[in-house]
Amino acid sequence: MSKAMGEALGQLEAVIHDRLAVGAADASYVASLAAKGRGKIAQKLGEEAVETVIAAVSEDDPALVGEASDLIFHLAILLADRGLTWDMIAAELGRRHGTSGHAEKASRAI
């Protein structure tokens, strides 16, 4: 990951944590989404995933970049709501590094 991406994710994580801590649903999209519950956050993440897929197959690169950004933003909200961090995601990806994708998938509990 580039340094810029790492910094952007760290900054995003910090802003989301700040918005969740304040909890002013009338002043923050993050807080208003969180106030609706984890199910609503997950639903919004799913919607953004579908929009990302649509952009990938039928739109131009700027549209895909925009949708991918929305997807990451909503994933960051869900992770923060669960008390999870990008560092935890990075650690899991690091653990998987060097392992065949087929082997890693086969090792998961069914």
Sign of CA dihedral 51, 56, 58, 62: positive
Q: For 13-67, what is each residue's pLDDT tens digit?
A: 999 999 999 989 999 999 999 999 999 999 999 999 999 999 999 999 999 999 9
What span, in angstroms and rounded, lies between the C-alpha atoms of 78 and 60?
27
At 1, is the pLDDT very low, low, confident or very high (cuts 50, 70, 90)?
low
User: Considering the entire predicted model, what is its pTM?
Assistant: 0.87
Domain spans of the chain, in order of start: 3-107
CA distance linking residue 49 with residue 29, whole number of Å: 19
Please name the CATH architecture into which domain 3-107 falls.
Orthogonal Bundle (1.10)
CB 78 within 8 A of CB 41: yes
